[in-house]
Amino acid sequence: MNKPLRRVAIFCGLLVLALLVRVNWIQYVKADELSKASDNRRVLIDRYAHKRGDIIVDGKAITGSKESPRGDFKFQRTYKDGPMWAPVTGFTSQAMGSNQIESIEDSILTGTDDRLFIDRTLSMFTGDKKQGGNVVTTLKGAAQKAAFKGLGNRKGAVAAIDPRSGAILALASAPSYDPSLVAGSTDQDTANWQKYEKDPDKPTANRALRETYPPGSTFKVVTAAAALEHGLIDDIDEKTDSPLPWRLPLSTKNLPNEGNIPCKDASLRNALRVSCNTVFGKVGADLGNEKMLETVEKFGFNKEQFVPVRSSASVFSQKMDGAQTALSSIGQFNTATTPLQMAMVTSAIANDGKLMKPYMIDQLTDPNLDVLEKTNPTEMSQPLSGDNAQKLQEMMETVVKDGTGSRAQIDGATVGGKTGTAQHGVDNSEKPYAWFISYAKTGNGESPVAVAVVVEDDNANREDISGGGLAAPIAKSVMQAVLDDKK
């Protein structure tokens, strides 16, 4: 072979080698990435070629599938009581992807999860249609219905937790949207989504997990926990050193109370019963930012939660002076929290100081309902001792029995709670948020439910907005639903 021909042969050999390397790189190294690429039409067609697995509540599916009206996607998602369950399920859309549980557990629901390999293989030989697995939630239908119905046409959110396990029992947000109306790929589905996104009331926002609000006086239970844990106060019925008026540290302003209430040197129990700003503001200032922060973060503040849907981090600032710490200790200044976070606070108090990690997926199953994965309850932290938790329970039960939370009373159960009316806006110009946090005890002393409710009622008269008036009845209905379910 002459020299030029040999060079051509070598060059052609290198081209063939490069082609082989490239083909193997694409087929093996990049295969997984390419198969999941958003613009891979074949993957999308296969994704919607069979019925999707279901999301389960109380043993029944709250999702389904139907044949698409047109196009090469055979099936599309449907939802039962979609607006009520949207904060739990999220949506899956042929045009816009998916979010929340629909996204997080997509591989189970579509049947592509590695744990479903045997099912996929057997279906090839048996001729059975490919099926997705199922997601079994911890949610209780009656509690969710009570929460969503209670919110009605008002903006707001409800989160309810079983304090003993951390299982989420209800997660409602209003106003909401119907994910069935955005599940397809038609122009109408896209128009529906654009309408939702442009709505100033934000129906697609998950207020229970993603919105943070000033907690107002509900935060006083956290300040009380800090006072007990750090030894500032031991006896909840002993007078505190709380002058009236009380001037904010390094300030020329006094901290006001709401109305003419008995707050001078009030005991911790009575201060919570009538909601004294001066007592709890001074407690926070006396403890200081560092000690308050230590207790607050044990309850879960300043950290995102994953349930498994991400919940925004609730905020308690790390560097504040005395006046700022005092205001933050009554749920104002920069303090902001999600409804889930305040439900976590309440559940820890109800569970004798032990905070369980919140979760809302109980099991993942294959199409035959065989369990692939089960969530085991885990302890997240111990924000306060058992003795101090029981003292705080006494205080919260006094609030419901003889104080501002009387509208949450339930026959045959012991209820503890705390109201809150959270000011916000420039110079508190906006209408306040109405809060209520609570738990219910059964006759045997167990606490199967802790609830946090926040209501944004733009239509109410400012003077009619209160946690006891707007939020407490909603919390009561949710607790009642859980208690009835236990009978």
If you average pLDDT over each of 24-28, 109-113, 126-130, which comes out highest?
A: 109-113
217 is catalytic: yes
Cα→Cα distances 19→6, 12, 25, 207, Å: 20, 11, 10, 53
363 vs 94: CA distance, rounded Å: 26
> Which pLDDT band, with edges at 50, 70 and 90, does 156 fall under?
very high
Ordered structural domains, the chain, with CATH: 216-486 (3.40.710.10)
Minimal CA–CA distance to 30: which of 109, 21, 106, 110?
A: 21
**What's the rounded Cα separation, in Å, for the pair 53 and 123?**
15
Where does the pLDDT of residue 28 fall: very low under 50, low under 70, confident under 90, or very high at 90 and above?
low
Average pLDDT of the segment spanning 30-54: 70
Confidence band, pLDDT 50/70/90 cuts, at residue 89: very high
Q: Mean pLDDT score of the chain, rounded to an integer?
A: 89
pLDDT band with cut points at 50, 70 and 90 for residue 461: very low
Q: Which region among 5-19, 427-441, 458-472 has the lowest average model confidence (pLDDT)?
A: 458-472
- 297-324: per-residue pLDDT in tens? 999 999 999 999 999 999 999 989 999 9
pLDDT of residue 214: 94
Tokens found for residue 404? 């501002």
Whether pLDDT at 462 is above 60: no
Lowest mean pLDDT, pick from 35-39, 259-263, 438-442, 479-483: 35-39
The average pLDDT across 11-28 equals: 78
Q: What was the pLDDT predicted at 37? A: 58
239-289 pLDDT tens trace: 999 999 999 998 889 999 988 899 999 999 999 999 999 999 999 999 999
69-83: pLDDT as tens digits: 776 778 899 999 999
Weakest mean pLDDT among 21-25, 212-216, 412-416 = 21-25
- On whether the CB atoms of residues 363 and 136 are closer than 8 A, the answer is yes
pLDDT value at position 424? 52
- Cα 247-251-257 angle, rounded to 5 deg: 35
Q: Of 94-98, 283-287, 440-444, 465-469, give the lowest mean pLDDT range.
A: 465-469
Q: How far apart are CA 209 and CA 215, in angstroms?
A: 14
Check residue 73 and give its pLDDT.
Answer: 79
Residue 162 has a pLDDT of 98
- For residue range 206-243, list pLDDT tens digits in order: 999 999 999 999 999 999 999 999 999 999 999 999 99
Q: Which stretch of 53-57, 94-98, 449-453 has the lowest confidence by average pLDDT?
A: 94-98
**Nearest CA to 51 among 61, 68, 65?**
65
Query: Which residue in the list 173, 180, 217, 347 is annotated as catalytic?
Result: 217
Tokens of 373: 């994965």
pTM, 2 dp: 0.88
